[in-house]
């Protein structure tokens, strides 16, 4: 018994020590803002000021972004309406939204916005699903544009009031792909920013392969040739550097549907979005083109280096198709990567890209209280202005949804963001009824060819049949 | 399997050897067998340990060494630990996991023992119905209970909302059917004479449980406590659903922040894994004897 | 109270003691379960304000999917049974073999026991991630070793033919220590005199294992078999953490019933169908538990 209590003592003190460390951490965090001394204050946008801090006995000069303090008359508690905004956790998005909320609250002292972003990306929908039946959750929520039909069907979103958000205004001022938020004759959501796909290339690996680091592939043939030239193998024939891994579960399934199928002369879906058409002979050619990188040319695989995205971030792949949002990731996780971005390769003179966006909708919950609804409308208006789009592009790397801000010359001239912005006029956004299921069909078709030796056209037929079933089920409930 | 085959081989060798020196061959055989046993155990032991060494070694690698295939880091660094400990509320998640696991373990040990005691030592109407009712809850996959639980946490029967609180994370597990079943098995072994003697001495019914039955089943309770602590330490989905504030999240939920839209940062994930696994190992090594004895008991009785 | 007989007093106390636990079980387990049954009779979308009653439609759909070998639900059930039928016997045989070995040796047996048990006391999520990294197609430990010995590298989790076995191996690995301890406890119960008697009768080790050890370990075996079967039936954490984006792939080769429940409920928002799946799983576990009770109550 004696030795038992001695051991117990050791364990308890270990954990107490842990607790102590937490307490210390907490104090440091809390103390940080206090040592910040603002040296000068100018109005408008947040600015960078130099601040001297004492860190562990040494004085350190840091550049800190400080937002102008705004004197506001704080109304009595009863007049303040609190609304809740939800999005998933992604550093740059959280920062950008915090900035917008700060500005919004300064202009609207009678509204307080609770910003909930402590949700891991993969679990965002779980949290929404759990909150809805409990009658809590967001008043304004971010959602992938492809979820709009499903959320509308469930009655979770309310249509945007037409007097506040005139459809003509949206059609005129927003990027064409925002049309996809229109469903059953109403707009249900509006984005701050949109994204397109483009081709990333690693300049160092181009140089290593003896290619001109400033001439990325511009058409599909060049893409295939360069991908092979860029792939490096070891003695055993294992890939050491990938020329071009096709990340189907990532963005490449979009590339197939909206870009390759069109470039090979097909059409992914009928114009009314009710019929799957990518399993046409043209579509199958496009599918074979995509498959060849892994099955014929052996230029890489999504299975290596965790996935295609990670491979590019690690400097292990030379070419990568991804969205503009990845620019922010690279800046954070791989700041030394020497890379460039170019518009997606042209195929048979057809230029296309996939456009997508995270959009913001007003929920049923907000509509229950007129004051909350009013505040939510004002908030949604605020975060979808061209100015908000500009704030967003700088923080997140996504393009402003408002054409006015997206057509900005500086943006188009930007070597990294320019190619994405250039894609906006010809971008296509797929009409999804169940985005994750529809992605899975393409992923499974691709996998069944490369892993199980299925016939490409048959695999595609299978995917199309399953997807058609899903679409039929969805449209059966709509006229 | 291998040992059995080897066993057979050795027996055949034995059978082949002449009857002369039966004892000697028996001894030699024993020695051989022992050697073989050590060899196989060392092999098995390595299989158990290597993943952990790989985990720790990866956590010490700089990001640039992840995809190089070297077992040990060329330039070992503690930077990953700095990143995980300073840039995320990791220690806070730690504390949360510890608090939640402790709350529920204390409660489980008390209530499960009490249930076990009542079902082992009392006779009352509806006893079997009630026991079956409790046991039936064992078979329900918890995934299905998430939504009802969440609705309850938002509109709780008592007090303010349970979301984002330790109680909210802990409440579905404060009493367990498996533990109650286990404790009933052990409580059956408490002699009735002892309880009757206690009653004659004027000990209250609760006193019988608290002062006589509980001390006698202490080893079983420690096993229950260990299982329960581990279970709570590992819990993922429910803590994820019921917390929305990063400061209230538990370790497994926190770990999931390391893999996101950008794929996985292996060096950071392995660092997080090391930090979450090593303390449990230390506790286990300290209490090894007690833990193993307790768990062995559950097998004999269960 | 004083007017009650001793027996009545005890009944009252039993109810008092059970007040809190029974309230808990009814409120936290039974009622939510009944609501899950109720949900399975609806086209139940968590985001919707009202849910449509559809009768047994979800069960009809489930039945149709079960009969269709191409459906993911069918694959999920097949995989789940594979996990049980492959994982459980391997786990038991390996654990028994190691327990027998540990019984043979005298030195360092405590150390070995501890080493085998360590994975059991670690976090499942962390373990799943560690193994995912060990299995990495090129720079994971196993493939580094394979190339070192000049053997071809293997895709492991990335192959529809290897993924299920790769995941099973991890479950066996993590749960081994627990089964070993239980077996060791069981082996201790076998009286030494039995073996001595067998030896005198001329039985070799192999014979005494089959005729003495195994029959006497029967209860332990059944106990472990049932425990492992149920935990394999409810397999979830490993699969969601070890497959790409937690999808149970490649080609649905690793997905399980519980993972389907989770995906249907929270990704496709089809709670009704998810509940029907749960009810089916509940039925399977119920049958196994009844069989368990029958076996355990028998004497050997």
Quick: pLDDT tens for A110-126: 999 999 988 877 788 88
CA–CA gap between residue A337 and residue A334 (Å, rounded): 6
CA–CA gap between residue A346 and residue A367 (Å, rounded): 46
Domain span holding position B28: 2-49
Q: What is the pLDDT of residue B22?
A: 61
CA–CA gap between residue A368 and residue C64 (Å, rounded): 40
- The mean of the pLDDT values for chain B is 83
Contact indicator for A198, A324 with CB cutoff of 8 Å: yes
**Interface check A473 vs C, CB under 8 A:** no
The residue among B291 and B206 whose pLDDT is bigger is B206
Q: What is the CATH number of the domain that holds A96?
A: 3.40.190.10
| A339 φ, ψ (degrees, to nearest 5) | -135, 165
| Least confident span in A128-132, B136-140, C112-116 | B136-140
Which ranges in chain C belong to alpha helices (H)?
6-24, 31-39, 57-67, 72-82, 88-104, 109-117, 124-134, 141-148, 163-189, 192-200, 205-208, 214-216, 218-233, 237-242, 257-266, 271-297
CA–CA gap between residue A190 and residue A178 (Å, rounded): 7
**Interface check A70 vs C, CB under 8 A:** no
Q: Distance from A401 to chain C by nearest Cα, in Å?
A: 27
Which of these, B150, C263, C256, B145, lies nearest to A125 by C-alpha position?
A: C263
- Shared domain for A165 and A311, answered yes or no, is no
pLDDT band at residue C223 using 50, 70 and 90 as cut-offs? confident
At A418 the three-state DSSP class reads: helix
Q: What is the pLDDT of residue C36?
A: 85
At A205 the three-state DSSP class reads: helix
Q: What is the pLDDT of residue A479?
A: 62
Given a cut of 80, whether residue A15 has pLDDT beyond it is: no
Whether the link from the prior residue into B179 is cis, omega within 30° of 0, is: no
Mean pLDDT of A36-42: 31
Q: Per the CB < 8 Å rule, is C46 touching A130?
A: yes
Q: Is residue A262 domain-resident? A: yes
For chain C, give the percent of residues with pLDDT over 90: 41
Q: What is the CATH number of the domain that holds C106?
A: 1.10.3720.10
Q: What is the pLDDT of residue A425?
A: 86
Pick the most confident of A85-94, A405-414, B118-127, C259-268.
B118-127
| C239 φ, ψ (degrees, to nearest 5) | -65, -45
Q: Is residue B168 domain-resident? A: yes
Contact indicator for C121, C209 with CB cutoff of 8 Å: no
Q: Is residue A52 domain-resident? A: no
- Shared domain for B100 and B227, answered yes or no, is yes
Strand pairing partners for A115? A85
Q: What is the pLDDT of residue B300?
A: 61
- Shared domain for A206 and A234, answered yes or no, is yes
Task: State how beta strands A239-241 and A232-233 pair.
Answer: antiparallel
Which of C244, C247, C267 has its CB closest to that of A125? C267
pLDDT band at residue A76 using 50, 70 and 90 as cut-offs? low
Q: Is residue A32 domain-resident? A: no
Contact indicator for A342, A199 with CB cutoff of 8 Å: yes
- The mean of the pLDDT values for chain A is 83
- Shared domain for A311 and A433, answered yes or no, is yes
Which of A154, A305, A447 has its CB closest to that of C45? A154
**Interface check C236 vs B, CB under 8 A:** yes
- Shared domain for A328 and A443, answered yes or no, is yes
For chain A, give the percent of residues with pLDDT over 90: 56
Q: What is the pLDDT of residue A45?
A: 40
- Count of the separate structural domains present in chain A: 2
Q: Distance from C158 to chain A by nearest Cα, in Å?
A: 7
Given a cut of 60, whether residue C112 has pLDDT beyond it is: yes
Contact indicator for C241, C250 with CB cutoff of 8 Å: no
Q: Tokens for A294, please give them.
A: 């892994």
**Interface check C223 vs B, CB under 8 A:** yes
Q: Is residue B63 domain-resident? A: no
Nearest CA in chain B to C7: B123
Q: Print burial letters for C260-279: b (CB count within 10 Å at least 16), e (below 16).
A: bbbbbbbbbbbbbbbbbbbb
The residue among A394 and B45 whose pLDDT is bigger is B45
Interface test with B, best of C47, C143, C185, C234 (most B CBs within 10 A): C185
Mean pLDDT of C95-123: 89
Given a cut of 50, whether residue B131 has pLDDT beyond it is: yes
For chain B, give the percent of residues with pLDDT over 90: 34
Q: Is residue A69 domain-resident? A: no
Given a cut of 90, whether residue A394 has pLDDT beyond it is: no
Within 13 Å, how many C-alpha atoms sit on residue A465's CB side?
Answer: 9
- Shared domain for B93 and B43, answered yes or no, is no
Q: Under 8 Å CB-to-CB from A304, ≥6 apart: which residues?
A: A239, A242, A245, A311, A316, C137, C138
Q: Is residue B65 domain-resident? A: no
Mean pLDDT of A203-214: 95
Given a cut of 50, whether residue A379 has pLDDT beyond it is: yes
Give tens-digit pLDDT for C132-161: 989 988 888 999 889 888 888 899 999 999
- Shared domain for A204 and A293, answered yes or no, is yes
Q: Which residue's entry shows tokens 């449990």?
A: B280
Given a cut of 90, whether residue A259 has pLDDT beyond it is: yes
- Shared domain for B97 and B229, answered yes or no, is yes
DSSP of B174-206, one letter per residue? SS-HHHHHHHHHHHTTS-HHHHHHHHHTT--HH
Q: Is residue B203 domain-resident? A: yes
Given a cut of 50, whether residue B8 has pLDDT beyond it is: no
**Interface check C33 vs B, CB under 8 A:** yes
- Cβ count near C226 (within 10 Å): 19
At B257 the three-state DSSP class reads: helix
Give tens-digit pLDDT for A350-377: 999 999 999 999 999 999 999 999 999 9
| Least confident span in A130-144, B179-193, C277-291 | C277-291
Q: For chain B, count helices (H), then strands (E).
A: 15, 2
| C154 φ, ψ (degrees, to nearest 5) | -115, 145
Q: What is the pLDDT of residue C82?
A: 96
Q: What is the pLDDT of residue B49?
A: 93
Radius of gyration of chain B (CA): 26
Nearest CA in chain C to A302: C158
DSSP state of A219: B
Q: Which residue's entry shows tokens 């390391």?
A: B258
- Shared domain for B127 and B276, answered yes or no, is yes
Q: Which residues of C touch A306 (CB under 8 A)?
A: 136
pLDDT band at residue A252 using 50, 70 and 90 as cut-offs? very high
For chain A, give the percent of residues with pLDDT over 70: 84
Mean pLDDT of B224-245: 85
Q: Per the CB < 8 Å rule, is B137 touching C25?
A: yes
Q: Distance from C99 to chain A by nearest Cα, in Å?
A: 27
- Shared domain for A111 and A200, answered yes or no, is no
- Shared domain for B112 and B239, answered yes or no, is yes
Q: Per the CB < 8 Å rule, is C31 touching B148?
A: yes
Give the helix/strand (H/E) hosting B264.
Answer: strand B263-264
pLDDT band at residue A265 using 50, 70 and 90 as cut-offs? very high
Q: Is residue A49 domain-resident? A: no
Contact indicator for B300, C186 with CB cutoff of 8 Å: yes
Q: Which residue's entry shows tokens 């209970």?
A: B145
**Interface check A129 vs B, CB under 8 A:** yes
- Count of the separate structural domains present in chain B: 2
Domain span holding position A148: 77-195+357-428
The residue among B260 and A291 whose pLDDT is bigger is A291
Contact indicator for B276, C98 with CB cutoff of 8 Å: no
Give tens-digit pLDDT for B116-129: 999 999 999 999 89
CA–CA gap between residue A381 and residue A248 (Å, rounded): 35
Q: What is the pLDDT of residue B299?
A: 66
Q: Under 8 Å CB-to-CB from B201, ≥6 apart: which residues?
A: none
At C169 the three-state DSSP class reads: helix
Q: What is the pLDDT of residue B302?
A: 44
Q: What is the pLDDT of residue A202?
A: 96
Q: What is the pLDDT of residue C295?
A: 67
Q: Tokens for A343, please give them.
A: 């518009």
Q: What is the 3-state secondary structure (H, E, C) of B78-132?
A: CHHHHHHHHHCCHHHHHHHHHHHHHHHHHHHHHHHHHHHHHHHHCCCCCHHHHHH
Which of C47, C139, C158 has its CB closest to that of A303? C158
Q: Per the CB < 8 Å rule, is A305 touching C49?
A: no
Given a cut of 90, whether residue C285 has pLDDT beyond it is: no
Mean pLDDT of C173-190: 89
Q: Per the CB < 8 Å rule, is A154 touching C160?
A: no
Q: What is the pLDDT of residue C298?
A: 54
Task: State how beta strands A111-116 and B259-260 pair.
Answer: unpaired
Within 13 Å, how many C-alpha atoms sit on residue B182's CB side?
Answer: 30
Give tens-digit pLDDT for C236-245: 889 988 988 7
Q: What is the pLDDT of residue A354?
A: 95
- Shared domain for A92 and A166, answered yes or no, is yes
pLDDT band at residue A107 using 50, 70 and 90 as cut-offs? very high
Mean pLDDT of C50-58: 91
- Shared domain for B136 and B202, answered yes or no, is yes
| A270 φ, ψ (degrees, to nearest 5) | -65, 165
Interface test with B, best of A8, A132, A136, A326 (most B CBs within 10 A): A136
Mean pLDDT of A47-52: 39
- Shared domain for A269 and A351, answered yes or no, is yes
Nearest CA in chain C to A153: C48
Contact indicator for B260, A120 with CB cutoff of 8 Å: yes
Helix, strand, coil share of chain B (percent; to 5): 80, 0, 20
Nearest CA in chain C to A450: C159
Domain span holding position C117: 59-297
**Interface check B218 vs A, CB under 8 A:** no
- Shared domain for A156 and A203, answered yes or no, is no
Q: Which residues of C touch A128 (CB under 8 A)?
A: 47
Q: What is the pLDDT of residue A335?
A: 86
Given a cut of 80, whether residue A233 has pLDDT beyond it is: yes
Q: Is residue B173 domain-resident? A: yes
Q: Tokens for C137, please give them.
A: 């197609």
Given a cut of 60, whether residue A428 has pLDDT beyond it is: yes
Q: Under 8 Å CB-to-CB from B229, ≥6 apart: which residues?
A: B101, B102, B105
- Shared domain for B105 and B230, answered yes or no, is yes
DSSP state of A346: B
Q: Is residue B34 domain-resident? A: yes
Q: Is residue C41 domain-resident? A: no
Query: Which chains border C (3 or more CB–CB pairs < 8 Å)?
Result: A, B
Q: Is residue A345 domain-resident? A: yes
Q: Distance from C68 to chain B by nearest Cα, in Å?
A: 24
Q: Which residues of A touch C162 (CB under 8 A)?
A: none
Q: CA A197, A201, A204 angle in degrees (round to 5)?
A: 165
Give tens-digit pLDDT for B174-229: 999 988 988 888 898 899 999 999 999 989 999 999 999 999 988 888 888 888 88
Q: Is residue B78 domain-resident? A: no
- Shared domain for B10 and B139, answered yes or no, is no
Q: CA A308, A310, A316 angle in degrees (round to 5)?
A: 80
Q: Is A203 left (phi over 0), alpha (psi -120 to 50) or beta?
A: alpha
Which of A304, A307, A451 has its CB closest to that of C160? A451
Which of these, A133, B231, A131, A120, lies nearest to C234 by C-alpha position?
A: B231
Contact indicator for A236, A246 with CB cutoff of 8 Å: no
- Count of the separate structural domains present in chain C: 1
Q: Distance from B269 to chain A by nearest Cα, in Å?
A: 13
At A473 the three-state DSSP class reads: helix
- Shared domain for A189 and A240, answered yes or no, is no
- Shared domain for A400 and A269, answered yes or no, is no
Nearest CA in chain C to B66: C139
CA–CA gap between residue C125 and residue B237 (Å, rounded): 11
pLDDT band at residue C93 using 50, 70 and 90 as cut-offs? very high
- Shared domain for A419 and A450, answered yes or no, is no
Given a cut of 90, whether residue B51 has pLDDT beyond it is: yes
Predicted ipTM of the assembly: 0.85
Q: What is the pLDDT of residue C123?
A: 82
**Interface check C141 vs B, CB under 8 A:** yes
Q: Is residue A343 domain-resident? A: yes
Q: Is residue A126 domain-resident? A: yes
- Cβ count near A52 (within 10 Å): 12
Q: Is residue B278 domain-resident? A: yes
């Amino acid at each position: 018994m004696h030795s038992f209590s001695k051991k117990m003592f050791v364990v308890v003190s270990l954990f107490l020590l842990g607790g102590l460390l937490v307490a210390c951490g907490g104090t440091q965090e809390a103390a940080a803002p206090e040592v910040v001394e603002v040296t000068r204050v100018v109005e408008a946008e947040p600015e960078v000021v130099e601040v001297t801090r004492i860190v562990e006995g040494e004085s350190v000069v840091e550049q800190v972004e400080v937002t102008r303090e705004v004197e506001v008359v704080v109304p009595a508690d009863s007049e303040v309406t609190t609304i809740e905004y939800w999005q998933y956790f992604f550093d740059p998005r959280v920062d950008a939204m915090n900035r917008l909320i700060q500005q919004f609250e300064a202009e609207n002292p009678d509204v307080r916005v609770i910003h909930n972003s402590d949700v891991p990306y993969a679990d965002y929908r779980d949290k929404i699903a759990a909150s809805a039946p409990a009658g809590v959750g967001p008043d304004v929520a971010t959602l992938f544009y492809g979820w709009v039909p499903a959320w509308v069907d469930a009655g979770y979103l309310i249509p945007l009031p037409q007097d506040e958000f005139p459809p003509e205004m949206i059609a005129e001022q927003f990027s064409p792909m925002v049309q996809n938020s229109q469903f059953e004759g109403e707009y249900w959501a509006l984005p701050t920013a949109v994204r397109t796909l483009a081709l990333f290339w690693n300049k160092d690996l181009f140089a290593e392969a003896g290619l001109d680091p400033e001439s990325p592939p511009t058409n599909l043939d060049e893409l295939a040739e360069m991908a092979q030239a860029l792939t490096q193998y070891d003695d055993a024939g294992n890939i050491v550097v990938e020329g071009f891994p096709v990340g189907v579960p990532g963005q490449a399934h979009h590339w197939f549907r909206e870009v390759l199928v069109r470039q090979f002369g097909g059409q992914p879906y009928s114009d009314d979005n009710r019929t799957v058409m990518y399993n046409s002979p043209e579509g199958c050619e496009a599918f074979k083109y995509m498959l060849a990188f892994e099955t014929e040319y052996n230029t890489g695989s999504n299975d290596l280096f965790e996935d295609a995205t990670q491979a590019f971030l690690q400097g292990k792949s030379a070419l990568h198709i991804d969205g503009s949002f990845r620019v922010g990731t690279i800046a954070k996780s791989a700041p030394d990567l020497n890379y460039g971005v170019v518009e997606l390769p042209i195929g048979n003179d057809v230029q296309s890209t996939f456009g997508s966006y995270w959009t913001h909708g007003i929920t049923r919950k907000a509509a229950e209280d007129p004051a909350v609804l009013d505040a939510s409308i004002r908030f949604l208006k605020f975060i979808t202005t061209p100015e908000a789009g500009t704030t967003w592009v700088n923080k997140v790397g996504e393009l402003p949804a408002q054409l006015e801000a997206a057509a900005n010359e500086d943006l188009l001239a930007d070597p990294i963001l320019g190619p994405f912005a250039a894609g906006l006029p010809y971008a296509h956004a797929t009409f999804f009824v169940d985005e994750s299921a529809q992605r899975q069909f393409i992923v499974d078709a691709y996998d069944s060819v490369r892993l199980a030796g299925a016939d490409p056209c048959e695999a595609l037929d299978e995917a199309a049949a399953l997807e058609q079933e899903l679409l039929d089920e969805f449209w059966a409930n709509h006229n | 399997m291998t040992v059995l085959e080897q066993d057979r081989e050795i027996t055949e060798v034995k059978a082949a050897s002449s009857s002369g020196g039966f004892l000697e061959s028996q001894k030699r055989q024993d020695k051989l067998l022992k050697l073989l046993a050590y060899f196989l155990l060392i092999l098995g032991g390595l299989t158990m340990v290597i993943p952990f060494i790989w985990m720790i070694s990866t956590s010490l690698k700089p990001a640039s060494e992840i995809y190089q295939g070297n077992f040990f880091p060329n330039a070992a660094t503690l930077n990953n630990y700095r990143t995980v400990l300073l840039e995320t509320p990791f220690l806070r998640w730690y504390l949360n996991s510890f608090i939640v696991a402790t709350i529920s373990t204390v409660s489980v040990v008390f209530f499960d023992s009490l249930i076990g005691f009542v079902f082992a030592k009392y006779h009352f109407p509806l006893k079997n119905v009630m026991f079956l009712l409790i046991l039936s809850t064992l078979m329900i996959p918890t995934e299905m209970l998430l939504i009802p639980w969440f609705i309850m946490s938002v509109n709780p029967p008592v007090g303010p909302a349970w979301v984002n609180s330790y109680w909210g994370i802990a409440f579905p597990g404060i009493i367990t059917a498996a533990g109650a079943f286990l404790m009933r098995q052990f409580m059956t072994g408490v002699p009735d004479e002892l309880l009757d003697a206690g009653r004659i001495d004027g000990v209250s019914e609760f006193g019988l449980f608290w002062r006589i039955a509980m001390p006698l089943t202490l080893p079983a309770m420690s096993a229950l406590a260990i299982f329960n602590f581990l279970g709570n330490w590992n819990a993922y989905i429910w803590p994820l659903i019921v917390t929305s504030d990063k400061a209230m999240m538990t370790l497994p939920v926190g770990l999931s922040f390391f893999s996101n839209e950008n794929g996985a940062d292996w060096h950071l994930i392995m660092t997080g894994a090391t930090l979450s696994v090593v303390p449990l190992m230390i506790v286990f090594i300290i209490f090894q004897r007690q833990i193993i004895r307790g768990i062995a008991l559950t097998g004999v009785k269960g | 109270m004083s007017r009650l007989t001793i027996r009545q007093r005890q009944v009252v106390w039993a109810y008092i003691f059970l007040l809190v636990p029974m309230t808990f079980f009814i409120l936290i387990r039974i009622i939510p379960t009944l609501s899950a049954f109720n949900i399975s009779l609806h086209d139940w979308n968590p985001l919707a304000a009202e849910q449509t009653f559809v009768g047994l439609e979800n069960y009809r759909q489930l039945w149709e999917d079960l009969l269709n070998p191409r459906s993911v639900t069918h694959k999920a059930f097949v995989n789940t049974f594979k996990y049980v039928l492959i994982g459980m016997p391997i786990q038991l045989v390996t654990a028994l073999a190691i327990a027998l070995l540990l019984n043979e040796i005298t030195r360092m047996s405590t150390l070995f026991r501890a080493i085998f048990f360590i994975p059991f006391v670690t976090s499942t999520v962390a373990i799943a991630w560690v193994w995912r990294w060990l299995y990495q197609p090129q720079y994971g430990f196993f493939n580094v070793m394979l190339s070192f010995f000049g053997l071809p590298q293997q895709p492991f989790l990335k192959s529809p033919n290897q993924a299920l076995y790769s995941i099973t191996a991890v479950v066996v690995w993590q749960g081994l220590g627990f089964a070993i301890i239980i077996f060791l406890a069981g082996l201790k119960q076998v009286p030494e005199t039995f073996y001595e008697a067998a030896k005198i009768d001329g039985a070799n080790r192999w014979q005494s294992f089959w005729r003495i050890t195994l029959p006497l370990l029967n209860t332990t075996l059944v106990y472990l078999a049932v425990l492992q079967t149920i935990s394999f039936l409810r397999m979830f954490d490993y699969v969601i953490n070890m497959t790409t984006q937690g999808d149970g792939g490649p080609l649905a080769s690793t997905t399980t019933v519980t993972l389907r429940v989770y995906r249907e409920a929270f990704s496709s928002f089809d709670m009704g169908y998810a509940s029907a799946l749960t009810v089916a799983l509940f039925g399977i576990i119920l049958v196994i538990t009844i069989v368990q009770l029958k076996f355990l109550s028998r004497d050997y």
